[in-house]
Amino acid sequence: MPRTASPARRRRSRLLRYAAAFAVLAALGGYLAVQYDSSTTESAPRCVVRAADGDHTYEMSLHQAANAATISAVGTTRGMPERAVTIAIATAIQESTLRNIDYGDRDSVGLFQQRPSQGWGTVAQIMDPVYSAGEFYDHLAEVPGYSRLPLTVAAQRVQRSGFPQAYAKHEPDAALLAAALTGREAASLNCTPSKRTAGSPGDAAQVRAELIRAFGKDVLPATKAAGASAAATVSVPVPATARAKAEGAPQRGWELAHWAVAHSEALLIERVSYADRVWEAGSGWRTERTKDKEPDTTAVGIRVAQ
């Protein structure tokens, strides 16, 4: 016959259970408070792209925004249209949520979850966003009439996914991102870097190197290495094409400006200026007009933290 616990022992047992339950609830309450605070703080590190009408927004981390900007830059540098950039970004949202992850189904890795065993390259190559985006565009370009196909069909012709319909749900967000990152929508991407960015010195030479990696060597004029490394501001020329003049605010300029804003955390960029608009870490975009002077659309200014 089992022994019956004494009343005192039962009371102690109940007290211990209550104490443990209280500790769990207290910890959970603290966790939820932190989560609530971090999700509602306006200055929390993040990026937001907003449609011109304000009805559609897409929010992401700075890391995700930098990857999306790289995908866009690689596409436009290869002469791919905005539709191709939309397809690529939608694919990366589905495959990795725009995170450059080193794991996945079987041997899949990277933004597009490309597999070394299927000929996409080595793991090291695929983990380079510039390389993986280039591989995606190379394969997309081989799809006949891809720009006229439904997005999910075009993406599936490249990816051969087991869930081919999954890409379609990301098309609105990808189109919004592509419009901003290709420069068609001016000042539509805003990022709030973390506070540590403001107190750390940046490296203009690294900004130049990343610009060349994403856009090619012709994005910057040849400069002497010593002078280039000493300057805190990188001036990126914007070609004065006929299309640019017709648009008023050249699309190329906004593409470069948005790329810099998207990389503001990683490259410690504190200020981006183009035309009559200025973006600053912590405050976002503002209009800065000079009396009796036309806005300068010939170059994008990128200044790193000092």
Mean residue pLDDT of the chain comes to 85
Structure token pair of residue 150:
């439904």
Stated pTM of the model: 0.82
CA distance 140 to 164: 15
pLDDT of residue 195: 74
The 10s digit of each residue's pLDDT in 240-250 is 654 555 554 58
pLDDT of residue 50: 96
Sign of CA dihedral 176, 181, 185, 187: positive
- Give bridge partners of residue 57 from the DSSP assignment: 50
The residue among 55 and 290 whose pLDDT is bigger is: 55
Structure token pair of residue 105:
């189904």
Residue 85 has pLDDT above 90, yes or no: yes
Residue 62 has pLDDT above 60, yes or no: yes
Buried b (16+ CB within 10 A) or exposed e, 62-85: bbbbbbbbbbbbbbbbeebebbbb
Average pLDDT on 4-26 reads 50
Element spanning 298, H or E:
strand 296-304
pLDDT of residue 36: 32
Q: Which region, left, alpha or beta, applies to residue 121 given φ > 0 means left and ψ of -120 to 50 means alpha?
A: left
Query: Tokens 């900007």 — which residue?
Result: 69
Average pLDDT on 68-95 reads 98
Of 5-9, 154-158, 168-172, 226-230, the one with minimum mean pLDDT is: 226-230
pLDDT of residue 301: 97
Write the CA distances from 54 to 48, 50, 255, integer angstroms: 12, 6, 20
pLDDT of residue 248: 46
Buried b (16+ CB within 10 A) or exposed e, 165-187: ebbbebbebbbbbbbbbbbebbb
Q: Are 46 and 106 in contact (CB under 8 A)?
A: no
Top-ranked range on mean pLDDT: pick from 38-52, 192-206, 253-267: 253-267
pLDDT of residue 164: 87
Q: What is the DSSP string of 211-259?
A: HHHHH-GGGS----HHHHHH-SEEEEE----HHHHHHSS-HHHHHHHHH
Residue 20 has pLDDT above 60, yes or no: no
